[in-house]
């Protein structure tokens, strides 16, 4: 049974560019994902394979569906899929499934917009191309690295200032996400956003499920790089989200080479 988006949420998505979906993850799921991510992050640091950012105070653990079966539950979660469909069309695909660990001492990061939007000429497209979702494994606050973002900035069709411009670290209309763990912060990838500084003594962690329109090139090539058992377990909906139905091809293939 699919949960429907309310008219107020649709309006908020259109005008403000984001929504917080409450109570997506249970306490047991939150604790289990958080512990798994901390373990994976530590192992990747020990192996010299860590994907660090924010002066080494931030870390991404990527390719999650190949690193634990529990992460597959995020791919087609019934409480979140309707939002992606609403914004990106029913044939949307997964671009990355990753995570962001923001450790104590992390600084404010400069604003960015997601993926290919940063390389496109202005004005940016006026319809959503990419939709990001952060699955909160801690309460997010203004102190612990709650995401900084400028509500409604997707409607400006402009890129944020370059990272070395002081205005990339401060906008008069910016807010810092304050939301409960277990909720999902879902937003148009064209919103100006960034991780905030963590001035507490505990890591702030989220899972990230980032999706795009089916005609765009995803950041991760799931079709090529998923473990065979992950593909085997995938439902038809998950296969479509992984991108198995949006590969080049079709009828117009050179003779003798099909
Ligand atoms: O973890 C966060 O607060 C923000 C993540 C982010 O900026 C992104 O996924 O593009």
The pLDDT of residue 165 is 86
Q: Determine the atom of ligand 1 nearest the C-alpha atom of 177.
A: 3
The pLDDT of residue 4 is 82
Task: State how far the alpha carbon of 236 is from the alpha carbons of 15, 85, 172, 243, in Å.
Answer: 33, 16, 45, 11
Indicate whether residue 147 lines ligand 1 (CB < 6 A): yes
> What domains sit in the chain, N to C, each tagged with a CATH number?
17-242 (2.60.120.620)
Q: In order along the chain (258 residues), what is the average pLDDT of each group of 10 residues?
A: 78 97 98 98 97 95 97 97 97 98 97 97 98 98 98 98 88 97 98 98 98 96 97 98 85 64
Q: Determine the atom of ligand 1 nearest the C-alpha atom of 140.
A: 3
**Residue found under tokens 């801690």:** 138
Alpha-carbon distance 138 to 226, whole Å? Answer: 28
Residues 6+ apart with CB under 8 A from 140: 146, 147, 177, 178, 179, 181, 185, 204, 206
Residue whose CA is closest, atom 4 of ligand 1? 195
Q: Give me ligand 1 centre to Cα 195, in Å.
A: 6
Indicate whether residue 193 lines ligand 1 (CB < 6 A): yes
Question: What predicted TM-score, i.e. pTM, was given to this entire model?
Answer: 0.95
């Amino acid at each position: 049974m699919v949960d429907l988006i309310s008219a107020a949420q649709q309006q908020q998505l259109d005008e403000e560019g984001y929504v917080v979906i409450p109570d997506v993850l249970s306490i047991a799921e939150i604790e289990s994902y958080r512990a798994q991510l901390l373990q994976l992050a530590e192992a990747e640091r020990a192996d010299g394979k860590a994907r660090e950012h924010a002066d080494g105070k931030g870390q991404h653990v990527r390719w999650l569906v190949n690193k634990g079966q529990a992460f597959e539950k995020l791919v087609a979660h019934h409480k979140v899929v309707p939002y992606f469909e609403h914004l990106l069309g029913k044939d949307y695909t997964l671009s990355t499934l990753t995570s962001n660990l923001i450790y104590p001492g992390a600084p404010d990061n400069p604003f960015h917009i997601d993926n290919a939007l940063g390389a496109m000429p202005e004005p940016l497209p006026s319809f959503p191309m990419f939709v990001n979702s952060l699955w909160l494994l801690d309460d997010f606050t203004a102190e612990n690295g709650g995401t900084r973002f400028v509500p409604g900035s997707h409607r400006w069709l402009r890129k944020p200032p370059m990272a070395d411009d002081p205005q990339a670290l401060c906008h008069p209309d910016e807010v810092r996400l304050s939301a409960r763990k277990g909720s999902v912060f879902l937003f148009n990838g064209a919103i100006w956003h960034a991780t905030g500084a963590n001035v507490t003594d505990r890591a702030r962690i989220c899972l990230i499920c980032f999706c795009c329109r089916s005609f765009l090139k995803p950041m991760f090539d799931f079709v090529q790089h998923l473990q065979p058992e992950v593909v085997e377990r995938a439902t038809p909906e998950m296969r479509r989200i992984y991108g198995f139905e949006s590969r080049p091809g079709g009828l117009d293939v050179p003779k003798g080479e099909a």
